[in-house]
Amino acid sequence: MPASSHQGPDQLLVKIAACAICRTDLHVVDGELPKPKHPIIPGHEIVGK
């Protein structure tokens, strides 16, 4: 992926190596959390290089 021309001097581009879900994501999917904030973005646990 080419670097974005919109990157600022204090930003960097990270290549994602792996992504996972956390237990909170599963609670949301199972309907165990009242009034979750939307939009929900599952898989926010990432590893990059």
The answer on pLDDT for 1 being more than 70 is no
pLDDT of the residue at 4:
63
Task: Tell me the pLDDT tens digit for each residue of 5-30.
Answer: 677 888 888 899 999 988 988 988 89
Task: Report whether the peptide linkage leading into residue 39 is cis, meaning its omega lies within 30 degrees of zero.
Answer: yes
Residues paired with 18 in a beta bridge: 47
Q: How many Cβ atoms from other residues are within 10 Å of residue 21's Cβ?
A: 13
**C-alpha count within 13 angstroms, C-beta hemisphere, residue 43:** 4
pLDDT of the residue at 48:
92
pLDDT of the residue at 5:
66
pLDDT of the residue at 47:
93
pLDDT of the residue at 13:
85
